[in-house]
Amino acid sequence: MRCEISCLCVIIAAIILPSAAKIRATFPFDCIYVRDECPNEHIQFWLYKNISSEPQLLDPLNLIKADFEPRWPLKILIHGFNGNRYASPNLESRSVLLRTQQVHVISVDYSRLAAFPCYYPWAVSNARVVARCLAQLTDNLIERGIYMDKDIHLIGFSLGAQIAGLSANNVNQPLRRITGLDPAGPAFVTYNRSEKLDASDAEFVDVIHTDPFFYSTLDRSGHADFYPNLDKFFQPGCNIVQDGRLRNCNHFRAPLYYAESIASNRGFWSYQCGEWLKFVMQQCREYADMPHTQMGYFVSKNASGSYFLQTEAYAPFAKGPIIDVELNISKPAWFLDEA
């Protein structure tokens, strides 16, 4: 028996990514290889204090305590490739966080360093500088007494998830929590642990994998890794071709699920099943008595291992508490048996 999906994804990425270089040559676009210095004019940090006020552009070296509410936790949102401070996970999570939780939000914007049609590995190279500048910001927030380390939570989508992990290599104070929303797989799948998001990057790392066969990876990246709908190649409600164009619906389900979890009255309840291969081999029964765990914002910090769940095809996506029949999911159609 064999599962060659991860290898296939690497091959596909190797075919697709070089084509981006041809696209780049077609456009009069200034692709920036950023200098390794922080602060950096191409890396911005925007503070959002509430749902109605205008955001404030922060100077990482001149942080003013009066601009913050230290009793409120801080959520730092980090976008992915071809994103900005208005894109995922900001698009889905920022307003619901400010509306329903007593928190402040900082949105990282490095859009000039990771914009299509520039070559994706160029953005990956720049990500290391973004991570260093993010580490400088978090260190200054803690050292100036604006926040305690326990109150800072990094939430990154795709390339942003990898940036959150890379920032852990540069901080003076260990990070308490990182949430990775479908961490980027291309270019990172062959990197060692110190060069991508993993469980050593924070006291607690939770990860949601929604597109493990293309833009992300099946590999565990945290203390608790969640695999919604792993028995299906597409997330429910997704189709790779919509309106005649190639879409990445699977990938963007992760920030959607996470944002819904912040205010959901159902909850994305999941069950443990060892590694993902045990799930594929239908060997989950031995875990049937393990406590069920919520995926997302309210995940238990004691969660550890790989967790599986089903979602609805359309919002609201959460199905609520697990029922026993969901432990008998059929073998995924994408899994290849030896003839």
Greatest Cα-to-Cα distance within the chain, rounded to the nearest angstrom? 67
Whole-angstrom distance, CA of residue 172 vs CA of residue 259 = 30
- Annotated catalytic residue, options 151, 251, 261, 270: 251
Contact yes or no for 157/179 (Cβ under 8 A): no
Nearest one of 212, 202, 117, 199 to 158, comparing CA atoms? 212
CA-angle at 255, arms to 165 and 109, nearest 5° = 60
- Is-catalytic flag, 104? no
- Annotated catalytic residue, options 109, 149, 182, 201: 182
Nearest one of 140, 139, 130, 125 to 107, comparing CA atoms? 130
- Is-catalytic flag, 107? no
> How would you class 54 by CB atoms within 10 Å of its CB: exposed for 0-12, middle for 13-18, buried for 19 or more?
exposed
Nearest one of 267, 233, 269 to 249, comparing CA atoms? 233
- Annotated catalytic residue, options 158, 167, 221, 264: 158
CA-angle at 292, arms to 291 and 298, nearest 5° = 115
- Is-catalytic flag, 158? yes
- Helical (H) or strand (E) element with 323: none
Catalytic residues: 158, 182, 251
